[in-house]
Amino acid sequence: MAEGGDFKLENRPIIVKKITKGHGGHHSSAWKVAFADFMSAMMCLFLVLWLVNSKKEVKQAVGGYFRDPGLFTATSGGGAGILEGGTGKEASKQQGTEELSPEKQQEMKEKVFKALQATLEGAIKNIPELQKLKDQISVQATAEGVRVELLDKEGSSFFEPGGARIRPEATVALKAVVEQIRRLPYAIIVEGHTDSKPLARQGYSNWELSADRANTTRRMLESLGLDEGKVAQVRGYADKRLRYPQNPEDPRNRRISIVVAEDTKEIIRPDLPGVSPVVRDLIRPQAVPQR
Comparing 279 with 30, the larger pLDDT belongs to: 30
Q: Which domains does the chain have, with CATH numbers?
A: 46-99 (no CATH), 102-283 (3.30.1330.60)
Q: Check pLDDT > 50 for residue 82.
A: no
Q: How much is the pTM?
A: 0.56
Residue 29 has pLDDT above 50, yes or no: yes
From the number of C-beta atoms within 10 Å of its C-beta (0-12, 13-18, 19+), residue 114 rates as middle
Secondary element (H or E) of residue 151: strand 145-151
Cβ atoms of 92 and 267 within 8 Å: the answer is yes
pLDDT band, very low/low/confident/very high, at 62 (cuts 50, 70, 90)? low
In this structure, are strands 186-193 and 231-236 parallel, antiparallel, or unpaired?
Answer: parallel
Residues β-bridged to residue 287: none
Q: What percent of the chain has pLDDT over 70?
A: 65
Alpha-helical segments (H) within the chain: 30-52, 56-67, 78-84, 88-94, 102-125, 168-181, 206-223, 277-283
Return the minimum-mean-pLDDT range out of 26-30, 48-52, 213-217: 26-30
The residue ranking higher by pLDDT, 254 or 87, is 254
Torsion of CA 201, 202, 204, 205, to 10 degrees: 80
Find the radius of gyration of the CA atoms of the chain. Answer: 38
Residue 91 has a pLDDT of 45
Q: What is the DSSP string of 80-105?
A: HHHHHTS-HHHHHHHIIIIIS-HHHH
The CA–CA distances, whole Å, from 46 to 39, 61, 64, 203 equal 11, 18, 20, 81
Which of 173-177, 190-194, 284-288 is the least confident region? 284-288
pLDDT at res. 287? 39
Closest CA to 193 of 163, 178, 177, 213: 213
